A and B are shown apart, each in its own frame.
Chain A
Amino acid sequence: MNERKNKLAIRGLSKRYGAAVALDHVNLDMIDGEFLTMLGPSGSGKTTLLWSVAGLNNPDEGKIWIDGQEATHRPACGRDIGMVFQNYALFPHMTVAQNISFPLEMRKVPAMDRKTAIRQALAMVKLEHVAERYCNQLSGGQQQRIALARAFVANPSIVLMDEPLGALDKKLRDHLQFEIKRLHAELGMTVLYVTHDQEEAMVMSDRICLMNRGQIEQIGTPQELYFQPKTLFAADFLGESNLIAGTIVGEENDCLTLELPGIGTVRVRSGNTPVSGSDIVHFTRPESLSVLLDADLRDNRVRGQVKEVFVSGAITKLFVDVGGASALRVSQLTDYSRCVRKGDIVTIGWADNVGNVFSGKQREAA
């Protein structure tokens, strides 16, 4: 891949609302044409960061560069952006067509070209038939789609989207995810995207930025975030996980021996997470664990009783009581010939390189 230039650079950005810290010294870089999704719990500062990039709130500290030029306090109208607001912000005194035409007018697009652009934008969101309606005559999902069309119509170089698909049904959401990806690929704009839907984030993004309490917890490709979470918070927030508190009892080379209550001794080839102190939390993904047949060999094994079995089509989820505080979650492909029933005694096993260890102190922080 050839070197692409930096589109957006954020350094030490902070924003406070009274005593509440909405953004806390955030650093972020995006290369031109990147699709970056921000994920994080409610109130973690996603919208605030988006607004700073848009130039809608004056950051208290820090700097923003767009295309290598400082733009921290550049007014929003000079940034060549398109934005979908969390509450849509459609102009109630204009029709749908007038709404979509507005960014084009501001960029002094001639009337003829505006017409075609509006038609195409409406076609993308499958709402050609509502062009002459006022926005309060549309359903929530329709409004959301108009907001989307309005953000894209003028081909801005950065598109900011704050949960643009939140109000839509599954099918429409899939369609628009596809459309957004297509437009992104065709037009090459840089997209900063906010969503609560982890699957959406995984599917669409080049990189995911996980936010927590106004800070970036971790940033990386979807795979990195999912399989190599750097912090307990990241591990816990994304997907399902087994988190078990315990202590380190031995260490040799890169292999740790842990004592987990109820489970016993467990070996982990800890990744790159530095651990201080002996109180730790052990992390595994449910899909890394499996129910063993007697002949199977695994680095770690534990026996327990199946408490619940959920079959959701292709995946079967087991909750196995191994005597610890919380049950182990195991998920595997449904195998009809070897189905496990509630109450069965099973052996669970996993390799020593699928787990990870976080410092126990992080638990309070998370």
Chain B
Amino acid sequence: MARIDTILQTTPIRNVWPKWNRLHWQTAPVAIFLFSLFVIPVIMLLGMSFLGDTALPSLTHYQRLIEVPLYGKVLVTTLKVAFYTTLLCVIGAYPVAYLLATSRRSTRNWLIILVLMPFWTSFLVRTFAWIVLLGRKGAVNQMLLAIGIIDVPLQLIYNFAGVMIGMTHALMPLATLTLLAVMENIDPNLSRAGATMGAKTGTRFWRIYFPLTMPGVASAALLVFITSLGFFITPALLGGPQDTMIVQLIIFQIREALNWQFAGAIGVLLVMTFMVIFYIYDQVFGLSLAGGGGTAENANKSSFIRKVAVSVGNVVIRALARLTDAMISMLCLIKPATHRAKTSSRGGLHVVCTLILAFLALPTLFVVPVSFTSEAFLTWPPRLFSLQWYDLVFDSPIWLAAAARSLVVATTTAALAMVIAMPCAFALARDQFAGKQALFGLVVAPMIVPNIFIAVGLFFLFSRIGITGTTFAVVLGHTVIVIPYVIVTILAVIKGYDRNLDYAAATMGASCTVTLRRVTFPLIRSGLIASFMFAFIISFDELTISLFVTGGRLTTLPKLMYEDALLSVSPRLAAVASLLLVLMSILIVISELTRRKGGYRAFDQ
């Protein structure tokens, strides 16, 4: 005993100096960048709302927010739009994601391109395509008139339906990808195991498959809902006056009324809405689900609301299972099932998915014929063939300058974001360090906070330092927006990388740098290229930041298109849109091919 005591006393207790040693300095650039160009501006903007007209603290703006009924009404509209968009997106995305998750890998890769079509094509091109398709003189109305189903053109856009169509189209890819990520990890043998235990098709789906996809449904819904709250382009271009959304109010306050403080107050209202939604979500599903965390641990320490939700959910699911089974057996009675029951049920899925995929991929293509019209207005069918609108674009120094600037900005942004984000992504993927959770939160925050906050905040900050209206300012702004996407995609690449390969290389005598150069990098290279492309495309298509930070002097391509579209929807826009479509398609095909060719993915059939 005595010996042990003396040993304990004489051995110096190693002082493990916590925190600082374990901080990872390679994460500093991203942290500093986002702190100064994201956190501070947004807080400044929101803080301003507590100042009165005389720059003294006051709550006058909030008073106005409550007293004028318009603002409450707009908030309700916004929530309504977000709710229905979420509903439509999740319902539409579910079968598509299911089809993707259960089809062969090669098929899946091509289908994903279709799903991502709206994601890649510029916001404005897309919205514009809907105008071409659904306008009073658009393709759909002309066709219905020609067939004789209707006498007067239908009002398909510039109303709530238009907003729904545009937003669902824009956000369904997001929902599909989120669901797909979850569905891909569901072992297909589970359903089969259910079958061997006597569960019929409906029971198998509702009691085995569906509960397993629940985390995906929940996070898809959250993502879509949050994102749609921040929308303004689609409602502005496809909606009517009664479909004004809250962000449009902010823009109006800043650009027209020049009332910054009140804009800040509306911003605070939006932030509070967010918090309420996150709170409800956390109570029902648990926030960790959004990160794909373990479900088992949550179940034990669950809230009351969650317990209620779960038991209600179980009852509903059981009922649905019975109902579906009953319906299927009734169908079988009417039409005796042929031998291959499996193929026929798949047939229904194929029909539904074809329709949804057509909805996602086809509309954009309608801008192409319109751009070749020889008339002075948008008409359907377009009178062909003329290159006048292309000539107009290529002869215009304004359009060319805007395009050139957009290219420069997108390239610089993507490069800058990669350089500062990559080390951070490695640290996040592989190491444990103090403040990792907080850092991750900071890094993905710009994805969740509506771009309008960042845009206005940066405008405010940049005008103080006097760099508004420079290309540099636009690059900085875009980098803030792009960093989360870069980090999330690189994280996915690194996480999918089997670290045992590094260890194996080390056992064969490779040093750290050699391992990185000969083993790690070749394997993740295609992922990094895809990530760069992603950043490029997002920046190239970005409108909100550009709208503010350019300060009216400079212009980028999306900004020019937006302002043009607000004035009039002309075939010239169709020409620009078609050009963009071609450019983006080339980029996608290139990145898809590099991803397939270079990656180890090719082997993991």
B-side interface residues, number (CB < 8 Å): 26
Since A51-B192, A85-B193, A93-B212 are in contact, a sample of 18 more A-B pairs with Cβ atoms closer than 8 Å, ordered by chain A residue number, is: A54-B196, A55-B195, A55-B196, A56-B196, A58-B342, A75-B341, A76-B192, A77-B195, A78-B198, A81-B196, A82-B197, A83-B196, A85-B189, A89-B189, A89-B192, A91-B194, A92-B212, A107-B198
B560 at interface, CB cutoff 8 A: no
How many Å from the CB of A186 to the closest CB on chain B?
21
Judging by beta carbons under 8 Å apart, are A89 and B195 in contact? no
How many Å from the CB of A106 to the closest CB on chain B?
4
**In the bound complex, CA of A147 to CA of B381 (Å):** 63
Tally of contacts, chain A with chain B, CB under 8 A? 80
Chain B contacts with A in 28-85, Cβ cutoff 8 A: none
**In the bound complex, CA of A51 to CA of B299 (Å):** 34
How many Å from the CB of B334 to the closest CB on chain A?
18
> Which residues of the other chain, B, contact A160 by a CB distance below 8 angstroms?
196
- B185 nearest CB neighbor, chain A only: A92
Which 7 residue pairs across A and B have the least CB separation, nearest first? A76-B195, A103-B197, A106-B198, A89-B193, A89-B189, A134-B296, A83-B196
Query: B197 is contacted by which of A55, A75, A93, A150 (Cβ under 8 Å)?
Result: A150
B437 at interface, CB cutoff 8 A: no
A38 at interface, CB cutoff 8 A: no
Judging by beta carbons under 8 Å apart, are A136 and B296 in contact? yes
Judging by beta carbons under 8 Å apart, are B197 and A58 in contact? no
Q: Is the interface of B mostly helix, strand, loop or mixed?
A: helix
Name B residues whose Cβ lies closer than 8 Å to a Cβ of A: 187, 189-190, 192-201, 203-204, 208, 211-212, 294-296, 299, 339-342
**In the bound complex, CA of A93 to CA of B192 (Å):** 16
A227 at interface, CB cutoff 8 A: no
**In the bound complex, CA of A340 to CA of B294 (Å):** 61
Q: Given A87-B187, A93-B295, are A56 and B212 also a contact pair (CB < 8 Å)?
A: no
**In the bound complex, CA of A80 to CA of B196 (Å):** 7
A102 at interface, CB cutoff 8 A: yes
Judging by beta carbons under 8 Å apart, are A87 and B197 in contact? no
> Which residues of the other chain, A, contact B294 by a CB distance below 8 angstroms?
136
**In the bound complex, CA of A90 to CA of B208 (Å):** 10
A273 at interface, CB cutoff 8 A: no
Name A residues whose Cβ lies closer than 8 Å to a Cβ of B: 51, 54-56, 58, 72-73, 75-83, 85, 87, 89-93, 102-103, 106-107, 134, 136-137, 150, 154, 160
- B325 nearest CB neighbor, chain A only: A77
Judging by beta carbons under 8 Å apart, are B296 and A89 in contact? no
- A79 nearest CB neighbor, chain B only: B196
Query: A76 is contacted by which of B187, B196, B295 (Cβ under 8 Å)?
Result: B196
**In the bound complex, CA of A72 to CA of B195 (Å):** 15
> Which residues of the other chain, A, contact B340 by a CB distance below 8 angstroms?
58, 73
How many Å from the CB of B328 to the closest CB on chain A?
10
**In the bound complex, CA of A79 to CA of B189 (Å):** 17
Q: Given A73-B341, A136-B296, A137-B296, are A106 and B190 also a contact pair (CB < 8 Å)?
A: no
Judging by beta carbons under 8 Å apart, are A102 and B199 in contact? yes
> Which residues of the other chain, B, contact A137 by a CB distance below 8 angstroms?
296
**In the bound complex, CA of A79 to CA of B197 (Å):** 9
> Which residues of the other chain, B, contact A75 by a CB distance below 8 angstroms?
195, 200-201, 341
Judging by beta carbons under 8 Å apart, are B200 and A77 in contact? yes
> Which residues of the other chain, A, contact B203 by a CB distance below 8 angstroms?
106
- A103 nearest CB neighbor, chain B only: B197
How many Å from the CB of A147 to the closest CB on chain B?
8
Judging by beta carbons under 8 Å apart, are A83 and B199 in contact? no
> Which residues of the other chain, A, contact B296 by a CB distance below 8 angstroms?
134, 136-137
- A87 nearest CB neighbor, chain B only: B189
> Which residues of the other chain, B, contact A154 by a CB distance below 8 angstroms?
197-198
> Which residues of the other chain, B, contact A93 by a CB distance below 8 angstroms?
211-212, 295
How many Å from the CB of B24 to the closest CB on chain A?
30
- B200 nearest CB neighbor, chain A only: A77
- B104 nearest CB neighbor, chain A only: A18
- A150 nearest CB neighbor, chain B only: B197
